[in-house]
Amino acid sequence: MKAGGKHDGGIAFAIVIVLVALNLRAFLTSSSPLLEPIRMATGIGFHAVALLTVLPMFAMGATSLFGAAVGQRIGARGGVALGLVAIAVACASRYVAGGAAALLWSAALAGAGVGLVQALMPGVVKQAYPARIGVMTGLYSAAIMGGGGLGAMASPWVAHALGGDKGPDWHAGLAIWALLATFALLYWLNMRRIESTSAAEAPGLRGLSWLRCFASRRAWLLAACFGLINGGYTSLVAWLPHFYAQQGWTAQQGGSVLALMTAAQVVSALAMPAIARSRGRDLRPWLVLTLAAQLAGFCALTFDAPVPAVAIAVVLGFGLGGAFSLCMVLALDHLSDPAQAGALAGFMQGVGFMIAALAPFVTGWVREQTGGFTLAWAYLAAVVVALLPLMLCFDPRRYAAATAGLFVARGTQAGAPSITALDSAATRKV
């Protein structure tokens, strides 16, 4: 099957995409429900706790910027494999982590691995499933969110199950995700279906660099919106279980609320791109809808509304999950060429995740200064209000004008990397 053809990549490749994506948030959400035992064992303070989310997000952003260059050198297969190795090593090292420094190092390494994977996968998905980019991007985004839910729910359960009478074994709760990363790595390497030409064989990519995005107002707008939206997610991952712990909830209960929010994210990430695509290319009404849901959730937290935590978690999850996947589709829609669209998406994620990394630090500082989270939730609600008018800028009729001259191809599109998506049983190109 030729890249960019009308046929999609098949079920086997969809499964491996899901397996890889499940690893991109589990390590991040696993520490929040275990915050109290971690703090008691290591003496880590609130600023350092925030760094458990801030550092990997910065690492994700920085590595995402260089991910396309790595992919050009070693291919999508090698680049994603390298990212999964980093995640597995980082998670495994947490089993023997003795203090804050080791935890922060592992967080940064895992974030770097995630950034590498995230830089390459959007282009892989777009080229493998050109006719179903909305649905498959939704599936990929939903799997990312689902991994976050697994981390929040399973880590405290594993910690309590293996800790026994001695208390939660937070080392095991954090390290368990090395197994999932290893499994995904083996599955990924076993798929004889991803072939990428080298840079020497793909002259069309020599002029392709995310550095061009620094001069593009549209690229910066996408990155800013993506980063501010994800700032709400990173803040909730870092602090929502602790917020409920202050109200007397257990770690497992707080983790369950975070997992429920993530479950709503999964549904929304799957549904919103497909629904939006069925109504046309204009994603603005759907982005506004997801932002409105976020605003409702943050307002409920800010004003301590008499609303069950379950309802707040579902509303926030719907808004965050839908906005994330719609932003991914939005970036990919701007350019028809998969490699160019992937580079733009990589820039959006790279800069965006570094912006998102600041949010937990800001909200954590506000909590430390005020003794509560009320003003932190109010800050996140204000960010959503600021984002609403920016959505009007994304008129699909102006995509071409907004990205004109962003990438200058020095070869034909036929020279772009070919990602052959066949069923795992297939052994030849068709």
Q: What is the pLDDT of residues 183-193, one digit of tens each?
A: 999 999 987 65
Under 8 Å between Cβ of 58 and 354: yes
What pLDDT does residue 183 have?
Answer: 95
Residue 219's pLDDT band, with cuts at 50, 70 and 90, is: very high
> What DSSP designation does 408 have?
-
* Distance in angstroms (rounded) separating the CA atoms of residues 132 and 236: 31
CA 69 to chain CA centroid, Å, is 20
Tokens, residue 276: 């939006």
* Distance in angstroms (rounded) separating the CA atoms of residues 82 and 32: 26
Of the given ranges (65-74, 141-150, 215-224, 384-393), which has the lowest mean pLDDT? Answer: 65-74
Task: Give the chain's radius of gyration (CA, Å).
Answer: 21
Residue 412's pLDDT band, with cuts at 50, 70 and 90, is: very low
Residue 170 has pLDDT above 80, yes or no: yes
Above pLDDT 70, what percent of the chain?
87
* Distance in angstroms (rounded) separating the CA atoms of residues 126 and 133: 6
Q: Tell me the CA distances in angstroms from 121 to 126, 153, 156, 217, 342, one per residue in order.
A: 9, 26, 30, 24, 8
Under 8 Å between Cβ of 62 and 115: yes
pLDDT digits (tens, 9 = 90+) for 344-382: 888 898 899 889 988 888 888 888 888 889 999 999 999
Task: Tell which residue, 312, 315, 218, 18, has the closest CA to residue 138.
Answer: 18
* Distance in angstroms (rounded) separating the CA atoms of residues 210 and 259: 34
Top pLDDT among 386 and 102 is at 386
What pLDDT does residue 408 have?
Answer: 64
Q: Tell me the CA distances in angstroms from 127 to 29, 134, 340, 357, 402, one per residue in order.
A: 30, 12, 11, 30, 22
Burial class of residue 145 (count of CB atoms within 10 Å of its CB; 0-12, 13-18, 19+): buried
Of the given ranges (142-146, 192-196, 239-243, 412-416), which has the lowest mean pLDDT? Answer: 412-416
* Distance in angstroms (rounded) separating the CA atoms of residues 79 and 198: 12
Under 8 Å between Cβ of 420 and 186: no
Q: Tell me the CA distances in angstroms from 389 to 280, 283, 349, one per residue in order.
A: 21, 14, 21
Top pLDDT among 63 and 390 is at 390
What pLDDT does residue 210 have?
Answer: 66
Residue 182 has pLDDT above 90, yes or no: yes
Top pLDDT among 221 and 332 is at 221
Residue 283 has pLDDT above 90, yes or no: yes
Q: What pTM, to 2 d.p., does this model score? A: 0.76
What pLDDT does residue 22 have?
Answer: 95
What pLDDT does residue 296 have?
Answer: 97
Task: Tell which residue, 94, 104, 1, has the closest CA to residue 47.
Answer: 104
* Distance in angstroms (rounded) separating the CA atoms of residues 165 and 11: 44
CB atoms within 10 A of CB 6: 8
Q: Tell me the CA distances in angstroms from 1 to 10, 189, 418, one per residue in order.
A: 11, 20, 10
Above pLDDT 90, what percent of the chain?
37
Of the given ranges (114-123, 177-186, 253-262, 421-430), which has the lowest mean pLDDT? Answer: 421-430
3-state DSSP percent of the chain in helix, strand and coil, to 5: 80, 0, 20
What pLDDT does residue 209 have?
Answer: 61
Under 8 Å between Cβ of 37 and 252: no
Residue 414's pLDDT band, with cuts at 50, 70 and 90, is: very low
Tokens, residue 256: 């369950």
pLDDT digits (tens, 9 = 90+) for 52-67: 878 888 898 888 887 7
* Half-sphere exposure at residue 295, Cβ-oriented, CA atoms within 13 angstroms: 13
Task: Tell which residue, 281, 275, 286, 236, has the closest CA to residue 259.
Answer: 236
Residue 141 has pLDDT above 50, yes or no: yes
**Positive or negative, the Cα torsion across 197, 200, 201, 206?**
positive
Instruction: Compute the average pLDDT of residues 275-292.
Output: 92
Residue 341's pLDDT band, with cuts at 50, 70 and 90, is: confident
**Positive or negative, the Cα torsion across 194, 197, 199, 205?**
negative
* Distance in angstroms (rounded) separating the CA atoms of residues 342 and 345: 5
CA 137 to chain CA centroid, Å, is 12
Residue 4 has pLDDT above 90, yes or no: no
* Distance in angstroms (rounded) separating the CA atoms of residues 72 and 79: 9
Instruction: Map residue 246 onto helix, strand or coil.
Output: coil
Residue 147 has pLDDT above 60, yes or no: yes
